[in-house]
Structure formats: C-alpha cells, structure tokens
Amino acid sequence: MAGEKGTMAITTNRIKEINEKIEIQKKPFGTVDGRSVDLYTVSNINGMEMTVTNYGCIVTSLKVPDKNNIHKDVVLGYNDVKSYVDNNYYFGAAIGRCGNRIGGAKFTLEGKEYNVTKNEGPNSLHGGSKGFDKVVWDAEAFKNETGGGLEFSYVSKDGEEGFPGTLTLKITYTLTNNNEFRIDYFATTDKQTICNLTHHSYFNLNGEGNGDILGHKLMINGSRFTPVDSTLIPTGELKSVEGTPFNFLKSVEIGARIGSDDKQLKLAEGYDHNWVLDRPEGSKDLFLAATVIEPESGRCMDVLTREPGVQFYSGNFLDGTLIGKSGRVYKHRYGFCLETQAYPDSPNKPDFPTTVLKPGETYKTTTVYRFYNR
C-alpha cells in the first residue's frame, strides 16, 4: 500500500511538473448575441499551439511544427469574430445537432414527423441555420495528465432548429503533449432526438493560405463509400471504392483523380462524400480513419475516431472570394476537411448506424487529429 501511495505521489508531482509547462492564455474576442466571447491559446510542452474561441467552439489557429521544426498555422480561419458570424463555411467549428445533411429536412421519431430548418435547398445541413457552430458556449480551461485544453458546455433547447428534446452538451478540446488535438463529445437528452456531432476544420498542412491541398497525400481506411444524389443525399448504397477515384486505401495525392470523368465527383464538384470506415464490427474503439501527408513540409496528420464514417471534403466551395486571417486569399481547394461522423441522412436511413439518442443514454464519442513529421 505504502508503495502504491509513493507511486501516486510521484505521478502527481510529475503531472504538476508537466502542467507547469503547459500554458493557457485568455483574451477577449468580441461580442456575439450580447455575450462576450474569448480566445484561448493553449500551448503544450513541445510548443505546439492551439487557439480556440467559445463562439461555435471554433479552432481559429493550430500551429504545428514541420520536419525542420518550423511552426505554421495549418487551419483556415479569420482574425475577427464578426467574419465567423457572417460567413457560412464552418471554419474550425463544432457541428450539430446533426452533422451533414438530412434529406428533405425531416425525419420521423416515435411515429412523429419533425421538420428541421432547410438551409441548403430542400435539405438541412450541419444542424440548420443556427447550428452549434453559431452559438456561444460556456468555456472552462483545464490541465490534466495528457495536456491542456477547454471544456465547452451548451444546452440546446427543445425545438431548436426543429429538433426535439433538450440536449445537454459537453465538448472537450485537449491539446496533448503528443501533439494531438483531441475532441471528446458528450450529450444527453430528455426526449428522443438525433445527435451526430462533428468537427469542421479546414486543414492545409503546408500552412493556411499557402496553395491548394491537391498535392497532399491521403489514405482513408474505408473500402466503401456512400454515393449521393444531385442534392448530396446518400442513395443508401454502400459502394465499393475499388476501381473508382474514391479508392484511398493506399495513400494517393488528393489531386491525382479529382478531375476524372466520374459521376460522383461531378455531382459534388470534387470530393464531398462519406466513407464507411473498415472498423471491426461493433467496435467503438479509436480507429485510424485517415492519414494525410504533406510531402514538402513533412507534416503528417492521422485522424482517429470512434465514429462509423468520415466525410472527406476537398474544399470545393472555396472560390477565391475569402481573405483569411493572414491576408491571403483562400482559393478553390485551399483546404480540406475530414469530418468524422455517422453517415449523412442517417435519420432517414434505417440501415445506417443509428443517430437516435434516447433519454437515459449518453452520446459519447472521440476524435483525435494527431500531428507528426516524416
């Protein structure tokens, strides 16, 4: 027993020592909906730095070392909160209550039809017109044995954007000392509802605003994907990637086949599809969904998740009209997203893994973006 106590004391001291090297700074970022919002900068023991705001849980900057230890900001974003409020690109944000699309902006739960906000043609995208990316969250900084970060909380009212049930949410962002950006999601409800949360950073591992992402090499651990119709709603088929430009089982440059004459690529004007991850049946363990390598800088990123799918979006809607935080223009395909999630339109697809959350259950999931060099 004494030995155990001794070990614990050392561990506690060690944690304290590590935590002294982690810095968390807070500064005001402006006002939204009459509430002041802040920017928090967390740096880990390796000097990697993450800046986030409690408006939409947005990651505004992520400074990652390259193979020569040169740190660059690898996510797209703005300098001021107003630009985040005014624009609909979902830069760096938490997405919910339902990530991606709900066909016809409606679904049925317990025999009752619910209509949610239509904000993309006939469909609902990313939680509606004022999704979790557009609300002010409460935030509290923390340090623990793995690193430092923020705990965000928000209560989404019954009926918000048309969704039933009061959803009580907690999302933690941890910048670990292994250079990981880790997201843990928790939610409970008082009525049956839909819950499918994701993260929407646009990455460019060569630095934000520094060219397009077509030369990045991508591996996706999914041998099937969900083809879509003309409004980007899955047809319901789980299609093999074999022999298609959707085969990323082996690492391939994003740009290698993006212009090919493929119906699915034409419909989405590039990649904007969900991959069915090859995770062991029934497992909710962290699974390597994707790896991205940027050959010039040597920066690499692994994406791990407990979710069944990942949306790979190649920044097709970026059109050169936006100027980013360092004054550079964000042109076509200057960033990509890897959004871990349940498959799009799951609320209307009984054969897809469920997105239904019931009272008494806890929605609990994790996604990790891990950075390293090679």
Binding residues for ligand GLA, rule: CB under 6 A, are 89-90, 100, 125, 232, 272, 311, 313, 317, 337, 339
Q: Find the shortest distance in angstroms from Cβ 328 to ligand GLA.
A: 19
Cβ pair 344, 233 in contact under 8 A? yes
Bond preceding residue 299 cis, omega within 30 of 0: no
> Exposure string (b/e) for 5-31, b if CB count within 10 Å is 16 or more?
eeeeeeeeeeeeebbeebebeeeebbe
* In the complex, minimum distance from the CB of residue 268 to ligand GLA, in angstroms, rounded to a whole number: 7
Q: Which one of 161, 294, 307, 339 is the catalytic residue?
A: 339
State how far the Cα of 68 lies from the Cα of 324, in Å rounded to an integer: 25
CB of 87 to ligand GLA, least distance (A): 10
Question: The tokens 């919910």 sit on which residue?
Answer: 96
Nearest-approach distance from CB 228 to ligand GLA, in angstroms: 9
Q: Which is nearer to ligand GLA, 139 or 218 (CB)?
A: 218
SS3 35: strand
Residue number with CB closer to ligand GLA (148 or 315): 315
Catalytic residue of the set 200, 208, 216, 294: 200
**51-63 burial string, b = 16+ CB within 10 Å, else e?**
bbbbbbbbbbbbb
User: Phi/psi class of residue 279: alpha, beta or left (left: φ > 0; alpha: ψ in -120 to 50)?
Assistant: beta
Which helix (H) or strand (E) covers residue 114, if one does? strand 112-115
Would you put residue 145 in left (φ > 0), alpha (ψ -120 to 50) or beta?
alpha
CB of 252 to ligand GLA, least distance (A): 20
C-beta closer to ligand GLA: residue 139 or 318 = 318
Question: Which residue of the chain is nearest ligand GLA when measured via CB?
Answer: 313
User: How far is 315 from 307, CA to CA, in rounded Å?
Assistant: 22
Q: Which is nearer to ligand GLA, 101 or 306 (CB)?
A: 101
Closer CB to ligand GLA, residue 125 or residue 197? 125
**What does DSSP assign to residue 163?**
-
140 labelled catalytic? no
Pick between residue 90 and residue 352 the one whose CB is nearest to ligand GLA: 90
Nearest approach in angstroms of CB 318 to ligand GLA is: 8
- Angstrom CA distances, 137 to 3, 33, 83, 149, 204, stand at 43, 11, 18, 15, 27
Among 232, 308, 244, smallest CA distance to 276 is for: 308
- 216 is a catalytic site residue: no
What is the set of active-site residues? 200, 339
